[in-house]
Structure 1
Amino acid sequence: MKQVLKQLPKFQVELEITVVPADYIKEMEAAAGRLSQRAAIHGFRPGKAPYDIVKQSLGEIKILEEALQSIVEKNYHLAVTAEKIETIGMPEITIEKMA
């Protein structure tokens, strides 16, 4: 993970976070595992379906949504702690690019 902090007017900051592909791939697999625990996938016990089967059954978009939620939560918290930012309220989050 890489982060860049920019100071904005009126006590605001912009925090740009870049996630490395290795972390992204791990989180996609973990998201598929979490989804397979909640969804009934024929022929597999909850949480035991392989990634490709979960992708085929639920769709890649569903896995991506689950993974992005987790990636944002984890990396936002790590970046705010590392930069020693005191937050007030919820941040405005924009995902600029996914590769």
Structure 2
Amino acid sequence: MKKGNTIQNFLQKDFSELRSAGVEQLMYIKEDLIIPHHHSFYDFIVTKARGKSGDLQSVDTVVVFPLKSHAGKVVLRSWYEKNKHIFPASRWEPYDPEKKWDKYTSFC
């Protein structure tokens, strides 16, 4: 990822097999937070942003920092709408940069 690339750029380039759905129909979930398409990964690095159960700073930090972050998920918005009452989607909530997550709440 290049500095300044947004979630939308990431979804368009790295998930081209889902291109028929269109990027607006894809959702990126990281640490049980639904990340809006306009945010960039650089924003999360600079602010050292955290989610409910780990860092939001990287797309794939599971190999490098297994205790600090979980892999992100890409799902179809239609799947989420049908399953938002079922775990794990029932834990997901929209990302709010003002909200601070002081302790981990992982169910793993």
TM-score, structure 1 normalization: 0.28
More helix by share: 1
Q: Which has the larger radius of gyration?
A: 1
| Structure possessing the higher relative contact order (Cα contacts under 8 Å, 6 or more residues apart) | 2
TM-score, structure 2 normalization: 0.26
